[in-house]
Structures are given as C-alpha cells and as structure tokens.
Structure 1
Amino acid sequence: MTQPAFPLICITKDKGLDLVPTEIYFSKVATSALADTSVYQDTFLFDKNGNVWTYQQVSDKFKNNFITKFLAKTFYNPILDAKVIWTNVGTYQIKDIQNKLKCCVDKDDDIITQFAEADVIKSSLDQATTFADILKVLNKYVFDPNEQELWEEQKSRPK
C-alpha cells in the first residue's frame, strides 16, 4: 500500500491548516464523515518527500443506509475505528507549499496568527528552504509555540 511519509502538513479547502504527526491521527472517524464523503474533497496533505496526497477514511462497522445517515446528521454520530485510503495526486516544490501556507495565513481569522503576526510567519516561511524548515516555522508560531520565547522575540524586533 502506498502511503505518505509522516508528518504531513494538511491544508483544507477553506484554508484550514493542521499538522498530522502519524497515521494514528486518522484511526477514528465520525459516522457523519463517512456518510458525507464531500468532507474529504479539497483537502491536501503534503509529505516530506515532496508528494501531495488526498485521503478517505473507511470503516467496516459503517452501514451506508438512510437510517445511519439520518441519525448521523441529527443526534447519533458515533466515532468508529477507521482505515485510510491514500491517493497520491502529485508532487510539490517548496515554493508551492510556502505560497499555499501564506494564503492560509492571509485568510486566517486569528487561529494561525494567534501567537505571531501574519508578516512574521510569512517572512519566516519565505526563509524556509526545506520541508523540515517549514515544520519548524509552523511549530514555532502555530502548533507548539513557546509564548515566552515569542514575546522576547517580538520585543527585540525593530519598531
């Protein structure tokens, strides 16, 4: 089975951003996501080897019928064990992912930019030359920020 090299940077159609450390991240799925497969559309995952992936989760316990779909959309939406079907949809260059990430920052509503200004994050992304560098930027400013360190860095910037 072909699958991506983890960790993955996930960018969704509405410019949401996530970091996927391992495949275990996809081991559970809500029934509503299985009932409405459009949730997987336009979600792209970028791996360290320069590949772009899409995915779909499936579950042996999911029964695709009217009752299940109806309940999932109303009040009974259980979490099921899932398997992932990966599809390699191409490759990317570092510049491609930098541009996509900067677009996410531009469209952000104070989630990505919660700990650092957009210009700081975008400038740091521009300086990245590898996937590992991009991960460091994202971890520093978005996923695993050290608030004290960022505060000191901000104070030292020219005004």
Structure 2
Amino acid sequence: MTQPTFPLICITKGKYLDLIPAESYFSKVATSALIDPSIFDGTFLFDKTGNVWTYKQVSSNFRNNIWTKFLAKTFYNPLLEAQVIWKKVGSYHLDELKDKLKTCVDKDDDIITQFEEADIIKSSIEQAMTFDDIQHVLNKYVFDVDEKELWKEQERRPK
C-alpha cells in the first residue's frame, strides 16, 4: 500500500490548515463523514518528500441505512474505527506549498492568526527553505504556540 510520509500539512478547501503528525490521526471517523464522503473533497495533504495526497476513510463497522443516516444527522453521530485509503495525486515544489499556505493565512478568520499577525507568519513561511522549516513556522505561530516566548519576541520587535 502506498501512503504518505508523515508528518503532513493538510489544506482543505484552499483555506483551512492543519498539521497531521501520524496516520493514527485518522484512526476514527464520524458516521456522518461516511454517509457523505464528499466531506473529503478539497482536502490535500503535503508530505515532506514532495508528494500531494488525498484520502478517504472507510469503516467495516459502518452500516449505511436509513436509521444510521437519520441518527447521524440528528443526535447520534458516533466515531467508528477507520481505515484510510490514500491516493497520490501529484507532486509539489516547496514554493507552491508556501504560496498555498500564504493564501490560507490571507483567507483566515482569526484562527491561524490568533497569536501572530498575518504578515509575520507569511514572511516566516516565505523564508523557509525546507518542509521542516515550514512545519517549524506553523508550530511556532499556529499549532504549538509558546505564548510567553512569542510575546517576548513581539516585545523585541521594532515598533
């Protein structure tokens, strides 16, 4: 089975951003996602080896019937054990990934930019030379923020 090299940078619908540390992140799936697999459309995952992936999740425990659909859309949407089906859709150059990430920052509604200004994040992404550098930038400003350190850095900047 072909699969990506983790960690992954996930971009959904050209504006939502996530870091996926390991395949175990996909070990569960909501029943509603199995009812409507289009939920996986528009999600692209970038690995450190320069490949772009899409995926879908399936579950042998899923029963696609009227009751499951009704319950999942009302009040009972359980998580099920899942398997991932990977599809390699191409490759990318680092500059392409950087452009996509900067677009995510531009389209952000104060999720990506809750700890740092957009210009600082975009500038840091632009300066990144490797996938690991980009991951470091995203962790520093978005996903694994050390607020005290970031605050000290902001205080040192010229005003």
Q: TM (normalized to structure 1)?
A: 0.97
Q: Percent identity?
A: 70
Measure, in 1, the Cα distance between the counterparts of 2:58 and 2:40: 11
How far off is 1:104 after superposition? 0.6
Counterpart secondary structure, 1:145: coil
Q: Find the counterpart in structure 2 of residue 77 from structure 1.
A: 77
2:14–2:103 Cα contact (<8 Å) kept:
no
Q: TM-score, normalised by structure 2?
A: 0.97
Residues 1:12 and 2:12 aligned together: yes
Structure 2 unmatched ranges of 5 or more: none
Shift of 1:14: 5.4
- Tell me the number of residue pairs that the alignment of Structure 1 and Structure 2 aligns: 159
Aligned-residue CA RMSD in angstroms?
Answer: 0.8
User: Which deviates more, 70-79 or 39-48?
Assistant: 70-79
The residue that corresponds to 2:23 in the other structure is 23
Cα drift, residue 137 of structure 1: 0.3
Unpaired runs of 5+ residues, structure 1, are none
Greater CA drift, 50-59 or 10-19: 10-19
State the SS of the aligned residue for 2:129.
coil
Say whether the 8 Å CA contact 2:30–2:77 is kept in structure 1.
yes
Q: Which runs of 4+ in 1 moved over 6 A?
A: none
Q: Distance in 2 between matches of 1:150 and 1:108?
A: 20
Counterpart residue number, 1:114: 114
Distance 2:136 2:106 in 1: 19
**1:120 is paired with a residue of what secondary structure?**
helix
Partner of 1:56: 56
Q: What SS does the aligned partner of 1:70 have?
A: helix
